[in-house]
A = this chain, B = another copy of it.
Amino acid sequence: MACCAFRQGTVGVMATSGGERGLPSVGEINVGNVELQPLLTKLKRRSLLDSKDEAAILTLPFELKTLRTGGYLVRSGKHTDFNSVLLHGFACRQKAVGGGRRQITALQMPGDTVDLHNWLFQFADYSVQAMSAVTIAQIPRAALIEVTTRFPAIMRAFGLDALVDASISMEWMANIGRRNALMRLAHLLCEIAVRRELIDSQDGQSPYMRMTQEHLGDALGLTAVHVNRMFKQLERDGLISQNKSTFVILDMPRLQAAAGFEPAYLHLESLPDE
């Protein structure tokens, strides 16, 4: 029955509070091992890379960091000279809006580039926060620039990654702007289910994703209270079931129909032609 499950969480950090815990633990400099495999796996999902490209990716220098739930992978306004890749765990990208509000603009899963946007900008104008225990690889930007310049296929793979990100952003905009609360929640649950299934099928069981109803609200442009009510509604309709802080999709086809969910925007299928 169950298509997907995640723990709704108990240790999530409020948007407005400081949440200073979860400071990264200093890792060691590594060169050339299998640690970056999630990145390669993700890039290969959509792009053709030959063995030289693969080797170049796997031998990128990086520094491993570990963060606890609620820790910051990226802080708004801070300058860095590296870019991060999420290797393990889940995170969300968020923008602060006035009055202690925030909008979550993306969910990130293993293999995702955390802050590719800072590639060419001086400062991030968003934060990225861990929604589980998280491992990231911080790759010096100079090394990334060097590799992408030498290996055009890698450049294109990152570009494609950015385009998929943009496609998801557009769908989220449509979701937030033009669907009602019930459909919004159902739609996001469908997206999470599909994306998680992909991750779990490739990298084995991943940790629980501590996504509170407040997180969901901030992602959907809703109040946590209203998210709760919509959960109950979906449960009454027999589309999902909740017990404790885990939800399970009972009827994926009907949930997708209720959400107007069409997974094409995730661009999971096709390698580019050419």
Contacts and interface: CB of A to CB of B under 8 A. Distances in A.
A163 B260 contact: no
Interface stretch (A148-156, A205-213, A241-249): A148-156
Contacts of A264: 125
Nearest to A272: B120
Contacts of A156: 120
Contacts of A173: 95, 103, 105, 169, 172-173, 176
Contact of A170 (B95, B119, B270): B95
* Copies per complex of this chain: 2
Question: Number of contact residues on A: which range applies?
Answer: 35 or more
A238 interface: no
* Interface of chain A: mostly helix, strand, loop or mixed: helix
B174 A97 contact: yes
A92 to B, nearest CB: 12
Interface in A99-135: 101-103, 105, 116-117, 119-122, 125-126
A206 B270 CA distance: 40
A253 interface: no
Nearest to A172: B173
B174 A166 contact: no
23 contacts: A95-B174, A97-B174, A97-B178, A97-B260, A102-B178, A105-B169, A105-B170, A116-B163, A117-B163, A120-B156, A120-B159, A120-B160, A120-B272, A121-B267, A121-B272, A125-B167, A125-B170, A125-B265, A149-B152, A155-B155, A162-B163, A178-B221, A221-B221
The list of the 10 closest CB pairs from A to B, nearest first, reads A177-B221, A103-B174, A169-B169, A97-B178, A98-B260, A105-B170, A176-B177, A95-B174, A103-B177, A103-B178
